Amino acid sequence: MSTSRADGRKPDQLRPIAFEAGIAPHATGSVLVSFGATRVICAATIEPNVPLWMKQQRVPGGWLTAEYSMLPYSTHDRKPREISKGRPDGRNIEIQRLIGRSLRAVIDLNKLGQNTLWLDCDVLQADGGTRTASITGAFLAARLAVQKLLDAKKIAENPLVDSVAAVSAGIFGGQALLDLNYFEDKDAEVDANIVMTGRGQFVEVQGSGEEATFTPEQLQTLLTLAQSGLKELAALQATFLAKQLLKM
C-alpha cells in the first residue's frame, strides 16, 4: 500500500471529499458533492403524493425514486442530452436504479407518509465515480429534506434508519486501488462499485473484469479497501450533517 498513484494518493486513499449544502435553493434539500474532480449536484424534493401503482395496490407509506443525468459539459467531449437522441440512455437508467435501490435500503417508507422523495443527481464534472458520488450525496440531500418534513410536523419520525454511501475499487496496473479516477477507471483490469450502510451492511456489490478475470483473494482485497473507504465516508457524512442540522 506504499506505492503512490499518478495523483499522489496512496492505493488505499480516497480523493479529497467535499460537501456543500443548499446548492439548489428550490429543492427541499440539496448538496454539491465532490469526489476529487468529480462533482455532482444531488437534490431531494418532497412531493405530497405517491405513484398511481401504490394507490391502485393500496400499498401503505410513501415512495423514494431517483433520476441521474450527466450534463453535456460534464465530460471532455460534449455528451448529447437524452432528449436530443430521442431515446433513454441505458447507462443513466442503470445508475438511477442503483441510486434508488441504495436509498430505499435505509429508509422506512411507512414513516415517510403519503409522500414521494425524489432524488435528482446531475453530474457537473465527471472524473470517475459519478455513481458512487451520487449515492453518497443523495443520502445527505435526503436527510436534509426529511428534516424539513420533521420540522414542519408533516411526519412524526425520521424515516431514514441508517446512512448509506458508495465507493469504487479496482485493479489497475496489477494493483488494488480505492476510489478510482477516470484515468484509472478507463484502463482498469477489474472495476467494482460497493454500496454500504453506516452500520457496515452491504447494499450492493458490482464487480466486473475488463477483458480480465480476478481471483477470490483479489475480490476480498477490493472489498476490504472499499470497507475502509466507506467507513471514512460515513464519518464525513455524519460530521457534515451534524453541522447542517444545527443550522436548520
Q: How are beta strands 29-35 and 38-47 bridged, if at all?
A: antiparallel
What are φ and ψ of residue 123, in 5° steps?
-80, 120
Distance CA 158, CA 241 (A): 14
| Better-predicted residue by pLDDT, 1 or 197 | 197
pLDDT at 88: 75
Residue 210 and residue 190 in contact, taking contact as beta carbons nearer than 8 Å = yes
The whole-number average pLDDT for the span 146-172 is 97
Domains of the chain, earliest start first? 17-247 (3.30.230.70)
What is the per-residue pLDDT for 2? 56
Per-residue pLDDT tens over the stretch 201-215: 999 999 999 888 999
Can you say whether residue 180 is alpha, beta or left, with left for phi > 0 and alpha for psi between -120 and 50 degrees?
beta
Could you identify the residue written with the cell 410536523?
A: 153
pLDDT digits (tens, 9 = 90+) for 210-240: 888 999 999 999 999 999 999 999 999 999 9
Least-confidence region, from 21-35, 75-89, 158-172: 75-89
Q: pLDDT value at position 199?
A: 97
Which is nearest to 31 in space by CA: 237, 248, 242, 247?
237
Question: What's the mean pLDDT in 10-36?
Answer: 97
Distance of CA 103 to the CA centre of its chain: 9
pLDDT, mean over the chain = 94
The reported pTM is: 0.95
Report which of residues 81 and 31 the model is more confident about. Answer: 31
Q: What is the pLDDT of residue 90?
A: 86
